[in-house]
Amino acid sequence: MRIAIYGGSFNPMHIGHEKIVDYVLNNLNMDKIIIIPVGIPSHRENNLEQSDTRLKICKEIFKENKKIEVSDIEIKSEGKSYTYDTLLKLIDLYGENNEFFEIIGEDSLKSLKTWKNYEELLKICKFIVFRRKDDKNIQIDEEFLNNKNIIILENEYYDISSTEIRNMIKNNEDISAFVNKKVKKLIEKEYLD
């Protein structure tokens, strides 16, 4: 199988995230996409609360698509979440005969050399890299531009921010244009302080 892994804070998951999943499913011939809301992030301060809510929202959005699985593998893990450790667990779970892909943004590619065991990661999976509007001036390392395991897409920009959505909720603004209508009420109810 061709298995794509899409990890993130998803705090909350919005239409931009869904478009990324749709793009990968429809254009890159994946058999499965595993959505993984992060537990304790390794690259930034942990301000992620409401793990159960983030998981519930992801499951609600994708519950009718048999090719998409939402996993609590990182939320249930103790300590910080590292892509390398999660990938090893998934390879163990699904079998090493499958082909694994990590979905990331250009900003993550720029910092890839700081990731745990990044060189080993590049041997055991491929990276699908989405362009982001605010990353248009990012300089990507030559080593990555020429790596056959890094696929840089020419995707449209998905200019939506989870931070902005959370701020809109706090200010009682309408978030309908940015989130899945199936989970709008759930998001508004559970993200209110």
- Determine whether 110 is exposed, middle or buried from the number of CB atoms within 10 Å of its CB (0-12, 13-18, 19+): middle
Q: Which value, to the nearest 10 degrees, does the dihedral of the CA atoms of residues 102, 107, 109, 114 take? A: -110
End-to-end CA distance of the chain: 42
User: CA-CA distance, 155 to 132, in Å (whole number)?
Assistant: 9
CB 186 within 8 A of CB 56: yes
Q: Give pLDDT, residue 1.
A: 96
Question: Three-state SS string across 80-126, please?
Answer: EECHHHHHHHHHHHHCCCCEEEEEEEHHHHHCHHHCCCHHHHHHHCE
User: CA-CA distance, 35 to 31, in Å (whole number)?
Assistant: 13
Residue 175, strand partner residues: none
Tell me: the pLDDT tens digits for 147-192? 999 999 988 888 788 889 989 988 999 999 999 988 888 887 776 5
Q: Does residue 62 have a pLDDT over 70?
A: yes
User: CA-CA distance, 185 to 44, in Å (whole number)?
Assistant: 29
DSSP-assigned letter for residue 133: G
Q: Does residue 43 have a pLDDT over 70?
A: no
Tell me: the pLDDT tens digits for 71-111? 999 999 878 889 999 999 999 999 999 999 999 998 889 89
pTM over 0.85: yes
Tell me: the pLDDT tens digits for 112-145? 999 999 999 999 999 999 987 665 566 777 888 8
User: What is the mean pLDDT of the segment spanning 44-66?
Assistant: 81
Q: Give pLDDT, residue 46.
A: 45
Reported confidence tier of residue 41, pLDDT bands at 50, 70, 90 = low
Closest CA to 126 of 161, 99, 153: 99
How is residue 134 written in tokens? 């605010």
